[in-house]
Amino acid sequence: MIRLYGTPKSRTFRCIWAAEEAGIPYEVVSVPLGAAVKTPEHLRLNPNGKVPAMEDGSLVLFESLAINLHIASKAGAPLSPSGDDASRTWQWTLWAATEVEPAAGQWAYNAYIRPREERDPGQAAAGAAGVAARLDVLEGQLTAPFLLGADFTIADCNLASVLYGAWSNSFDFGGHPKAKAWLDRCFERPAALAARKLRDAA
């Protein structure tokens, strides 16, 4: 059984979703945001003082998307494809982390996460423009139900989970109908619904 350290109302959500998709046993060990992530016990698992962290036997990992790639590898295909599609999985995962997440975070912090008096409308607008630019790319690449074709893979889980805050907090997807339909398909999957239920209850 793998252990996921964190709270479902954090990036740990991504890993819960991946574990649900993989169909492997997992346990969520509650580590709330705040002082708990700075304790020596947690820093042994994630020296960045953040969540999530994962234990799988003797293997300890931090970084949510890396954890997801590991979880998918335990399940094999179709969640973790081989050959050229394995390389495409890395492409989309790194694109999610380097291109999409910074803009999505900039928008989210200034649109709904921070207290209203601390939000910067200019930063929110810049973040929204950044997300929209990445959605332009995604819109042009979506030629099948999922990123790599007919099957849902960990590439879909990783990219969609980075966009979950936008999808669930009224981001304007009006100019990106294929991206919105793809996100709807991803987040209505049974595994995603199970992870969302844990997130909503946290």
Please report which confidence band the pLDDT of residue 177 belongs to, taking 50, 70 and 90 as the band edges: very high
- The predicted pLDDT at position 67 comes to 98
For the chain, where do the domains classified as CATH 3.40.30.10 start and end?
A: 2-77+193-201
Average pLDDT rounded to a whole number, residues 58-64? 98
Greatest extent of the chain over all pairs of C-alpha atoms, in Å: 50
Average pLDDT rounded to a whole number, residues 66-80? 98
Average pLDDT rounded to a whole number, residues 41-56? 97
Chain position carrying tokens 């300890």: 60
- The predicted pLDDT at position 27 comes to 98
* Secondary structure of the chain in HEC code, one letter for each residue: CEEEEECCCCCHHHHHHHHHHHCCCEEEEECCCCHHHHCHHHHHHCCCCCCCEEEECCEEEECHHHHHHHHHHHHCCCCCCCCHHHHHHHHHHHHHHHHHHHHHHHHHHHHHHCCHHHCCHHHHHHHHHHHHHHHHHHHHHCCCCECCECCCCHHHHHHHHHCHHHHHCCCCCCCCHHHHHHHHHHHCCHHHHHHHHHHHHC
Domain 2-77+193-201 CATH assignment equals 2.60.40.10: no
- The predicted pLDDT at position 29 comes to 98
Please report which confidence band the pLDDT of residue 159 belongs to, taking 50, 70 and 90 as the band edges: very high
Tokens representing residue 100 in the block: 């999409």
Give the span between the Cα atoms of 94 and 98, in whole angstroms. Answer: 6
Average pLDDT rounded to a whole number, residues 7-13? 97
For the chain, where do the domains classified as CATH 1.20.1050.10 start and end?
A: 84-189
Radius of gyration of the chain (CA): 17
Residue 196 · residue 21 · CB < 8 Å: no
Residue 191 · residue 9 · CB < 8 Å: no
Please report which confidence band the pLDDT of residue 64 belongs to, taking 50, 70 and 90 as the band edges: very high
Fold topology of 84-189: Glutathione S-transferase Yfyf (Class Pi); Chain A, domain 2 (1.20.1050)
- The predicted pLDDT at position 25 comes to 98
Please report which confidence band the pLDDT of residue 165 belongs to, taking 50, 70 and 90 as the band edges: very high
Average pLDDT rounded to a whole number, residues 46-53? 98
For the segment 83-107, what is each residue's pLDDT rounded down to a tens digit?
A: 999 999 999 999 999 999 999 999 9
**Angle (deg, nearest 10), helices 64-75 and 154-162:** 160
Average pLDDT rounded to a whole number, residues 35-46? 96
Full strand arrangement of the beta sheet holding 59-62: 26-30, 2-6, 53-56, 59-62
Average pLDDT score, the chain: 97
Please report which confidence band the pLDDT of residue 157 belongs to, taking 50, 70 and 90 as the band edges: very high
